[in-house]
Structure 1
Amino acid sequence: MKLSRELTEFCTRLGHDFARPELIARALTHSSLSSPTRPDNQRLEFLGDRVLGLVMAEAVLARDHDAREGQLAPRFNALVRKETCADVAREIDLGSVLRLGKSEMSTGGRRKTALLGDAMEAVIAAVYMDGGFEAARAVILRLWGDRVAGVAEDARDAKTALQEWAQARGMAPPVYAELSRSGPDHAPVFVVEARLSDGTAVEAEGRVKRQAEQAAARALLDRAERE
């Protein structure tokens, strides 16, 4: 299989030259475009999540030899969460080469956090299957870069952080509302709104409702702290 110019350029941004190019093609194929002759990236996503987890578990242990599990876990979670994967995907312009069906194309699928995060995990698996663990580890550590060193020492989940921010300012706890649910039963996408008592609100999406709430809380906290 010969890669297109766009995919070749993407592999350069990724930092891996594929001996088996069919792997990266599959990693970038969303289920909305799959067929019997064109498998999607869901199985690769499953594997990539585990490869990323092992690399990041090693990385957070290496950064702090004295930290206890209760300190390491939130740092690890901050590095492997879907939103972080999606941020990395945006930095290498993964969305531009993501292969989507018409339904996802028409709803802005190339910009969706859930789709980008899933595809990034699938790409990691493709690198792992093509070049082995060390190749995948090198790609991950290069792309995640300063995130590993800069992950918050007291990393907390976003909902907790947002609630503490609001309470410190005499505000009521933030509220969350599910705005919509779309997609098939096996791969739903939730859109959730997080709202502060002063009316400031942000929407976000996720594959599970809690993930969407966390993404909305994180975005709302970022916005509130800037204003």
Structure 2
Amino acid sequence: MNHWDTLIRLTPTLFVPQMPNKGAFPDGAFLTWDDVHVWDSSGMLIASYASPFTLQFKRQYHKLVRGAIPLNIEAQRWINPIEHGDRIGWFKGKVVLLHFWATWSPESVEQLAHYDELYKKHKDQGLVVIAIHSAEEADDVDTFIAEHGYTLPIAVDEGASAQRYGIWNFPQSVLLDRDGRIAWLSQEGEAPSPAQLEYLLNDAFPTH
């Protein structure tokens, strides 16, 4: 909601979580925030807010719809590089899975292992998986990948690719069909189902 008219609670405990925001104030506070949600949780009234910066990312992500042409990646460097990896349009004729992740996100790390196995299993069928570590604090990515022995292509930058796609949290995934268009986008960080991937590899994508 954009403003509060009245907020009443019999147990007046209000907790406003702090959110990191480098370059703003030492305590991480925002000068303004455009979206606030309030709910009860275990006897505590919790307010969750989003900065204008976060909302800008969300609006950009919501512009990506099924059938749209995807944006190119702005990688600073690659691990397990793939030819023409920055140019998504180059992979037309293949099924492409873009996985936005970060080493500090347990869910995205778990998905990374899953996607690495998918890549090994289906790359001969035309599946290309590109894991995009588009987050700050990327110094440990090389060590992490080497320790786990992942073989899928990994693009590394400090946020440019995530910003282009409007990714504001991790993990998020985007699936492209053989025509080079967006076929599916994750909504809550989920991975595409095996049925969706199988149908797409066989040129027939289900709506559910």
TM-score normalised to structure 2 length: 0.25
Bigger helix fraction: 1
TM-score, with length taken from structure 1: 0.24
User: Taking CA–CA contacts closer than 8 Å with sequence separation of 6 or more, which of the two structures ends up with the larger relative contact order?
Assistant: 2
Higher fraction of strand: 2
